[in-house]
Structures are given as C-alpha cells and as structure tokens.
Amino acid sequence: MTAPYGERLTAAVGERGALCVGVDPHPGLLDRWDLPRDAAGLERFARGVVEALGETVAVFKPQSAFFEAYGSAGIAVLELVLADIAQAGAISLLDVKRGDIGSTMDAYAAAYLADGSPLAADAITVSPYLGVETFAATADLADQHGRGLYVLALTSNPEAPAQQRARTAAGFSVAETVLDWAAARNAGATPLGSVGLVVGATIEPPGLDFTRLNGSILAPGVGAQGGEPEHLPAIFGAATPLVLPSASREVLSAGPDPDALRRVATSLANRSTAALTP
C-alpha cells in the first residue's frame, strides 16, 4: 500500500460520496436484526452491513469494543470484517481510541497500521491525553504504510469540554494544541495529510480555524445522535469540505434488509455531499 491515506480517502469520497458508516454491533441492534447475541450473530450483522453497502459507501468505521466483547471469537470476526472492507474497495477506519507511550504505543501501531497484521486498517482513532507527541512514531508508521490517524479533538459527550476546551499555560485550548500538532504533520501534503481529527457533529462551534489542518475531520453523531449534514457548515465554516460525516444507528437500524440499508446510506451520503460542497 503505497498511496498516502489522504489521497486514497479523497478518491473514495469523490467516487462514493462523503459518508462514513459505523459498524457498531450493539446488542440492541443484534436484537433488532433478530440475531443472537453471540459471535455468530456478530458475524452475520457486521459482515452483512459490509456486504450490503461495500460498493456504495466510502468509509466503514468498525467499533472495536463491540467485537472485543466476544473475546477471541469477536476479534476473529473483526479480522474478517476488515478484509471484507478492503475487498469491497472501501476505506476501513477502525475505532479503537488507543493512546499510550513508548513501546506500548509502538505495539498498538504495529497491530493496527503495519502491513501484514490481521487487524491492520486504513486508519485508526487515537486518544491524545498522554500528549500528542506520543503519536510521532505511530504517525511515521502510518505514513510508511499509506495509513492514517484520527486524533480525538472535540467530542460530543457532555464530559468532554472540561478537558478538551481547558486552557494550557500558553493560553490555548487542549483541542487547539491537538489541531496544531496535526496541522504540522500534514503541512505540504496534497490533497490531504494522513492525520485527521475527530470533532463531533453536535458540538457548539469551537471557534477554531480548521482550514489549516489540511486533513480529514471525522464528524460522528450524524443521524440518530442528533447531528444533521445540513448543520455541519455552521460548526466547521470554511473547513466544511474537509469533513467526513459519520452515522451508525441511523443506517444500521434500517437493517437487516440490504435494500433498506442502501436507501438510508445513499440518502445520507447525498445530503452530506451537498452540504459539504462549497
């Protein structure tokens, strides 16, 4: 895999529309699909989503926790899902939110970003609260293998502002320091760098200049969580074209009928692309 992540993401979104679909096998969704709460139900759900949408959706975001809950059998399903996404020609963004230091972070990076790993994804989410510089080697490995990182910056949960909008001794918010680091990593890349940010689709406008990121902005929370594609320009302003809206329950609740899944996903992708186009 030699093409940079930003280039591959841009091509996928240009071809299929601006939408990331979360693959979140929540027990309640397994019930809704009339599937058992076990590894077999997990596999039928997750692989069924990719089978139905694999040729139409640009990005899939499996939530690792829902697979990990089933132990080694769940991880085996996750490996299959990541392979299915690659086979479908879509981008895989594994939501693992890892964050550590030294050799431990290096091991996470090798597990999720190195060619040949059964859990390798096109991109992963990471948590920066041990310091953004702890991701320097991870970002280097991602670049080496044409993969990407999405660093948590401003999330929608009510507990987040106390940490993410807190001010450093230099007078900048923590989220702004994350943006600064990501922008520095992406400087000069075309069409986009490989380091993105996670910024919730339902947050209050943060007053940050995201245009300098030169990278992708994952905006989870579209649909059932209250975010609407049409509201994104009010949050991101001139950086709106960088945004990748993400929806999970809004799409997944339409299953298990493949046609219904495709109708909802196509509608959201069309609305998102229209809302994000200058």
Q: Any idea which residues carry the catalytic annotation? A: 97
Q: How far is CA 108 from CA 86, 149, 156, 254, in A?
A: 20, 12, 25, 34
Contacts (Cβ under 8 Å, ≥6 apart) of 64: 78, 94, 95, 96
Cβ-based burial of 3 (10 A; exposed 0-12, middle 13-18, buried ≥19): exposed
Q: Containing H/E element for 151?
A: strand 148-154
CA neighbours closer than 13 Å in the CB half-sphere of residue 109: 24
Reference 121, options 9, 233, 242; nearest CA is 9
* 69 CB neighbour count, 10 Å cutoff: 14
Give the containing element (helix H, strand E) for 60.
strand 59-62
How many CB atoms neighbour CB 32 within 10 A?
16
